[in-house]
């Protein structure tokens, strides 16, 4: 993601919905994984102006992170970053 890399094992977990029923880890245990994933996405954004904001729209729901970024308009595409080691 951009020039940022991370191990999928940090954020992945098994689980799925079947007939509208969750089979997998207890949902409450997934909050740290989700926050870690959001932090990694934030680090991968190629912009000097970026923000990570947590807004609890649903009480006790862990998917509460929003990422924002902006950069000046350019008629040319930005150069692709070179991934650096962790």
pLDDT by residue (tens digit) across 48-83? 899 999 998 888 788 899 999 998 888 988 777 776
What HEC string does the chain produce? CCCCCCCHHHCCCCCEEECCEEECCCHHHHHHHHHHHHHHHHHHCCCCEEEEEECCCCCCCCCCEEEEEECCCCCCCCCCCCCCCC
Task: With CA atoms as reference, report the closest residue to 46 among 1, 5, 8.
Answer: 1
- Total-model pTM: 0.76
Instruction: Report pLDDT for 29.
Output: 84
CA dihedral sign, ordered 65, 71, 74, 78: negative
pLDDT tens digits for range 3-60: 789 998 898 888 899 999 989 988 778 889 999 999 999 999 988 899 999 998 888 7
- What is the C-alpha separation between 31 and 5, in angstroms, rounded? 21
């Amino acid at each position: 993601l951009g020039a940022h890399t991370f191990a999928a094992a940090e954020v992945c977990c098994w689980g799925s919905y079947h007939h509208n029923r969750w089979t997998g880890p207890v949902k409450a245990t997934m909050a740290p994984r989700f926050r870690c994933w959001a932090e990694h996405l934030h680090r991968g954004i190629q912009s000097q102006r970026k923000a990570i904001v947590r807004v609890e729209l649903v009480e006790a729901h862990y998917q509460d992170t929003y990422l924002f970024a902006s950069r000046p308009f350019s008629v040319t595409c930005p150069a692709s970053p070179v991934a650096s080691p962790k």
